[in-house]
Amino acid sequence: TLGSVRYEHFLIFCLAFQSHLIQYVGLSHHLIALNFIIVSFGRKSAWSSPNVQITDTEFDGVEVRVFEGFPKAKEPLKSGVIYIHGGGWALASARISYYDELCSTMAEELNAVIVSVEYRLVPRVHFPEQLYDLERAAKYFLQPQVLERYSVDPARIAISGDSAGGNLAAALGQQFSKDDTFRNKIKLQALVYPVLQALDFNTPSYQQNVNSPILPRLVMVRYWIDYLRGNQDFVQAMVVNNHTALDVEQATALRARLNWLSLLPVSITKDYKPVVQTVGNAQIVQELPQLLDARSAPLIADQEVLQNLPKTYILTCEHDVLRDDGIMYVKRLENAGVDVTHDHFEDAFHGCMIFTSWPTNFSVGVRTRDSYIKWLKQNL
């Protein structure tokens, strides 16, 4: 109805205000205060329900919130999901209501144990410390005695995350794929509108959604720079791809892995043109070599790494600068022989999957969440 449409538009406006505040005042000196507001107003205590037991604890020194679905007679061992929240590596928490409600629903619907990791954030730490937190927590959980304590089937474990959490989940999956001890311990990976690269901020989806609510392009670039502990003076140069110009030799070998003219279908590329500068700013990559590190940008990983990854689910949204990151990863994984399910929503926007309850309850949020959980239920 017209009333519900206006209501949803109003909520989008409110949610977008935070992103535009970041866009115009910058990130570095405001992240702690901004996240304090987000967490203070959104924090939810570890209250168990009749169907899900919730506990705050630590795994090898890393804070986690554990959601345990109650065992079923026909399924004494539960599946397990290591979940990584989004927020630009700088915001949000496993303990805010959005992620608490998502993980509670997952635990109940999947008869699973969900380990939601409270990894450290920018500006307290920067890349790769977030990934180290996740590796420690995941390796602790995957110990046989820990899985037995939580009644988890060691053959039915997934890693998953949304947005920056999807980035970290993809990076964690790649790290485990190179480790003989952990390569076969992850059955699935499920990535929800993941951010996967920082070499091209002019993919069709970045061009199409440059000023979209929730996550404008300029905000995403600022998140990247702060994650990699860079200089915010680089923002404008990176927006026009000066950091990967033709004269930036360090980026030459990786450019083919992001050739969206070959990785994206014509229905996506449309009339958009690649933005490739002839002369750029080599100083950016010299000061931020992490831009070329697959641990920060999983989309640029070697084919040999990708071919060892587990069965994968990737959800993308049409109204999202990160849409093409996900679609290109789908194509690269398929080319590497990985079994991939691509779940695209034409009416969805970045971040929508956690907006499922009042006052930010969107129908597309419920539909994306249900589709994601359905895939996990069928495959985990």
Q: Which of 85, 126, 319, 350 is labelled catalytic? A: 350
Give me the chain's average pLDDT, please.
90
pLDDT tens by residue, 284-305: 999 999 999 999 999 999 999 9
pLDDT tens by residue, 71-101: 777 788 999 999 999 999 999 999 999 999 9
Q: Which of 100, 226, 320, 343 is labelled catalytic? A: 320
Query: Parallel, antiparallel, or unpaired for β 112-117 and 311-319?
Result: unpaired
Band of pLDDT at residue 32, cut at 50, 70 and 90? low
Higher per-residue confidence, 15 vs 99: 99
What local confidence, expressed as pLDDT, does residue 214 receive?
Answer: 87
What local confidence, expressed as pLDDT, does residue 24 receive?
Answer: 47
What local confidence, expressed as pLDDT, does residue 253 receive?
Answer: 81
Q: Are 57 and 64 in contact (CB under 8 A)?
A: yes
pLDDT tens by residue, 185-235: 999 999 999 999 999 999 999 999 999 988 999 999 999 999 999 999 999
- pTM of this prediction? 0.92
Cα–Cα distance measured from residue 20 to residue 215, given in angstroms and rounded to the nearest whole number: 9
What local confidence, expressed as pLDDT, does residue 363 receive?
Answer: 95
pLDDT(252) > 90: no
Look at residues 27, 3, 37 and name the one whose alpha carbon lies nearest to residue 218: 27
What local confidence, expressed as pLDDT, does residue 35 receive?
Answer: 58
Q: Are 355 and 363 in contact (CB under 8 A)?
A: no
What local confidence, expressed as pLDDT, does residue 344 receive?
Answer: 98
The yes-or-no answer on residue 350 being catalytic is yes
Higher per-residue confidence, 277 vs 35: 277
Residue type, 266: V
Q: Are 299 and 257 in contact (CB under 8 A)?
A: yes
Q: Which of 104, 163, 205, 212 is labelled catalytic? A: 163
Q: Kindly list the distances between the CA atom of residue 354 and the CA atoms of 52, 178, 207, 336, in Å, as whole numbers in the listed order.
A: 18, 31, 25, 31
The yes-or-no answer on residue 320 being catalytic is yes
Domain locations along the chain? 1-42, 48-197+291-379
What local confidence, expressed as pLDDT, does residue 31 receive?
Answer: 64
What local confidence, expressed as pLDDT, does residue 10 receive?
Answer: 41
The yes-or-no answer on residue 262 being catalytic is no
Rounded to an integer, the average pLDDT of 146-153 is: 97
Residue type, 302: D
Band of pLDDT at residue 39, cut at 50, 70 and 90? low
Band of pLDDT at residue 33, cut at 50, 70 and 90? low
CATH fold for the domain made of 48-197+291-379:
Rossmann fold (3.40.50)
Higher per-residue confidence, 71 vs 150: 150
What local confidence, expressed as pLDDT, does residue 3 receive?
Answer: 42
What local confidence, expressed as pLDDT, does residue 97 receive?
Answer: 92
What local confidence, expressed as pLDDT, does residue 281 receive?
Answer: 94
Rounded to an integer, the average pLDDT of 258-280 is: 96
What local confidence, expressed as pLDDT, does residue 202 receive?
Answer: 98
- Three-state SS string over 241-252 comes to CHHHCCCCHHHH
pLDDT(9) > 60: no
Rounded to an integer, the average pLDDT of 374-378 is: 98
